Amino acid sequence: GDSVTQMEGPVTLSEEAFLTINCTYTATGYPSLFWYVQYPGEGLQLLLKATKADDKGSNKGFEATYRKETTSFHLEKGSVQVSDSAVYFCALDDSGGTSYGKLTFGQGTILTVHP
């Protein structure tokens, strides 16, 4: 079955540091890939997505590139802020027209950014 593996956390950085959170996946078809972010006490929000190989999703300074050859979708940001402290989830939707939008999530990575 489909699966998503994220780098283990928690990740602790100083403000303005470079961020990478690794995400790799296994899927039978050609999935769409997502990064969701969860701020304390809130639900998940879509951060960015990519629907086909070599697509780059970007939002709020975050980027991730869909790499089919390495089955990866690593999240990066050049300069993190304290307000980026949250839990980040990588997810895939292996639609193929039959999955009804069901998502498979990674385990989440806790990011803490210190001033």
Partner 1 sequence: NAGVTQTPKFRVLKTGQSMTLLCAQDMNHEYMYWYRQDPGMGLRLIHYSVGEGTTAKGEVPDGYNVSRLKKQNFLLGLESAAPSQTSVYFCASSNRDGNQPQHFGDGTRLSIL
Q: What is the binding site for partner 1 (CB under 8 A)?
A: 4, 32, 34, 36, 41-46, 49, 51, 89, 93, 95, 97, 100-103, 105-108
Least CB distance from residue 97 to partner 1, whole Å? 8
Least CB distance from residue 108 to partner 1, whole Å? 5
Q: Which C-beta is closer to partner 1: that of 33 or that of 80?
A: 33
Q: Which are the contacts of 38, defined by CB distance < 8 A and separation ≥ 6?
A: 44, 45, 86, 87, 88, 89, 108
Residue at token pair 């950014």: 113
Least CB distance from residue 41 to partner 1, whole Å? 7
Q: Which C-beta is closer to partner 1: that of 16 or that of 102?
A: 102
Least CB distance from residue 27 to partner 1, whole Å? 14
Q: Which C-beta is closer to partner 1: that of 4 or that of 80?
A: 4
Start-to-end Cα distance in the chain: 41
Q: Which C-beta is closer to partner 1: that of 70 or that of 100?
A: 100
